């Protein structure tokens, strides 16, 4: 039986609405579940930060949304809606048109998105002409405007340069320009700052925030860096072992985390100006997909686990703060009364 989503985790006017998403990878011996019953929404002009350790299912969730799951991966259950219209299960060509025109993507390594054989101008113009009705001259002008908007100096002159002639930070700006070519409603940004140094990271974060504010573009920002989340996101979804552990506003999740996993993540972050004898850490490691334990997947590492956690998987539950939910039996009234 599919558990219900609490009302505070639904939004009928959301730009993106993901309900009960389950992603599987069949193997010879079994079916591995990479994303299990994940539900969330993103509003227009909002940044949802999706955070968690490597292997939590963050990137797989993003790939499922934009229809780029590699075989044998498949969406086994759930619904993905963009402006109320279901987009999972569409034919490849229809999904390709949506991916270019309505959903943009920014990946960790810009060289995976840029063809080294073509100038960045040619790649931008081709993308613009595929997804709009602009002429080649109009597309060229728009491409130069986009390069200027994302902070490429002397955009007209750099238009005919090749990807290898740009620094890592400049290449990432070009990728952001590519993602914006058709004025998408949603951008999936998967670790867009990980390969960049700290000063360039700050510039890219500021750029994403400005684009979100000025274009009213919704952004799903996937990262393992809580610092990036704190600087960028409006709301935060914390993933663990393919599930959402907690979701809520940036302030609530950072200042008042509820799930023991989120608490562990926040306690492990050093605070500038505060001396500590030792850093806190979470014992153990995230389970592999074929070793996820029964009950709550976090229970072997959880300092507050009790018997129910080891045998029964919790659903999303209200934590007391509006819109903040946690998949933890600590917030179940029956468990509290036991």
Q: CATH code at 235? A: 3.40.50.300
The answer to the question of residue 84 being in a domain is yes
Q: Is residue 96 part of a domain?
A: yes
Residue 133 covered by a domain: no
Residue 176 placed within a domain? no
Using one digit for the tens of pLDDT, what is the confidence trace for 120-164?
A: 999 999 999 998 889 999 999 999 999 998 889 999 999 999 999
> Could you tell me if residue 22 is inside a domain?
yes
109: exposed, middle or buried (Cβ count in 10 Å: 0-12, 13-18, 19+): middle
Domain encompassing residue 243: 7-102+182-271+278-337
pLDDT, tens only, 290-314: 999 999 999 999 999 999 999 999 9
Rg of the chain over Cα atoms, rounded to whole angstroms, equals 21
Give the model confidence (pLDDT) of 41-65 as tens digits: 999 999 999 999 989 999 999 999 9
Would residue 160 count as lying in a domain? no
What is the residue whose two structure tokens read 């539900």? 39
At 42, list the tokens.
Answer: 């993103």
* CA–CA dist 145, 97 (Å, integer): 23
Cα(12)–Cα(45) distance, integer angstroms = 16
Count of domains observed in the chain: 1
**Digit-coded pLDDT (tens) for 131-141:** 888 999 999 99
| Residue 151 domain-assigned (yes or no) | no
3-state helix, strand, coil in the chain (%, to 5): 40, 20, 40
pLDDT in tens, 213-240: 888 899 999 998 888 888 889 999 999 9
- Whether the link from the prior residue into 249 is cis, omega within 30° of 0, is no
Residue 187 belongs to some domain of the structure: yes
Task: Provide the residue count of the chain.
Answer: 338
Instruction: Calculate the average pLDDT of the chain.
Output: 89
Report the share of the chain in percent with pLDDT over 70. Answer: 92
Residue-level pLDDT at 235: 96
Q: What is the β-pairing status of strands 31-42 and 16-26? A: antiparallel
pTM confidence score = 0.89
Let me know the angle formed at the C-alpha of 74 by 63 and 228, rounded to the nearest 5 degrees: 25
């Amino acid at each position: 039986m599919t558990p219900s989503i609490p009302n505070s985790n639904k939004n009928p006017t959301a730009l993106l609405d993901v309900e009960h998403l389950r992603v599987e990878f069949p193997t010879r011996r079994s079916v591995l579940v990479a994303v299990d019953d994940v539900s969330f929404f993103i509003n227009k002009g909002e940044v949802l930060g999706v955070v968690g350790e490597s292997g939590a299912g963050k990137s797989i969730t993003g790939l499922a949304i934009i229809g780029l799951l590699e075989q044998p991966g498949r969406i086994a259950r759930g619904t993905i809606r963009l402006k109320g219209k279901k987009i999972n299960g569409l034919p490849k060509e229809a999904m390709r048109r949506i991916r270019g025109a309505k959903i943009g993507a920014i990946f960790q390594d810009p060289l995976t998105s840029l063809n080294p054989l073509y100038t960045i101008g040619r790649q931008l113009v081709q993308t613009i002409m595929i997804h709009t009705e602009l002429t080649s001259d109009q597309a060229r002008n728009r491409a130069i405007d986009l390069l200027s908007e994302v902070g490429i100096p002397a955009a007209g002159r750099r238009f005919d340069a090749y990807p290898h002639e740009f620094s890592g930070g400049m290449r990432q700006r070009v990728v952001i320009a590519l993602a914006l070519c058709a004025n998408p409603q949603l951008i999936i940004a998967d670790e867009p700052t990980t390969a960049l140094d700290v000063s360039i990271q700050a510039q890219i974060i500021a750029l994403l925030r400005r684009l979100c504010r000025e274009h009213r573009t919704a952004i799903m920002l996937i990262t393992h860096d809580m610092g990036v989340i704190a600087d960028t996101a409006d709301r935060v979804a914390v993933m663990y072992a393919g599930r959402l552990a907690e979701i809520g506003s940036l302030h609530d999740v950072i200042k008042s985390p509820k799930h023991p996993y989120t608490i562990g993540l926040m306690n492990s972050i050093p605070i500038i100006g505060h001396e500590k004898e030792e850093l806190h850490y979470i014992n153990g490691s995230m389970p592999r997909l074929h070793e996820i334990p029964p009950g709550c997947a976090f229970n072997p590492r959880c300092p507050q686990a009790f018997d129910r956690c080891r045998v029964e998987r919790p659903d999303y539950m209200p934590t007391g703060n509006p819109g903040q939910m946690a998949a933890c039996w600590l917030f179940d009234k029956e468990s509290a009364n036991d």
